């Protein structure tokens, strides 16, 4: 159950980071941090989610459905 919470938190961080990048893009302030900082953070969180899912699948903690329908 804890791994599901971690995945949900990481996905929420992905969305928050995406909206931070949107805010920086729309504001257009030169003193604000670059938009690529937030997009890079979003990419890192997405990679963490994917890596965590692959590790959990490889160790057998979670199992995929046998039939997709």
17-54 pLDDT per residue, tens: 999 988 888 887 777 788 888 889 899 999 999 999 99
pTM: 0.78
String of DSSP letters for the chain: -HHHHHHHHHHHHHHHHHHHHHHHHHH--TTSPPHHHHHHHHHHHHHHHHHHHHHHHHHTSS---S---
- Provide the pLDDT confidence category of residue 68 given band limits of 50, 70 and 90: confident
Q: What is the mean pLDDT of residues 8-25?
A: 91
């Amino acid at each position: 159950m804890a791994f599901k919470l971690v995945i949900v938190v990481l996905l929420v961080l992905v969305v928050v980071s995406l909206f931070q990048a949107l805010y920086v893009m729309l504001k257009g302030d030169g003193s604000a941090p670059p938009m690529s900082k937030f997009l890079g953070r979003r990419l890192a969180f997405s990679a963490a989610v994917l890596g965590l899912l692959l590790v959990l699948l490889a160790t057998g903690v979670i199992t995929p459905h046998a039939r997709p329908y």
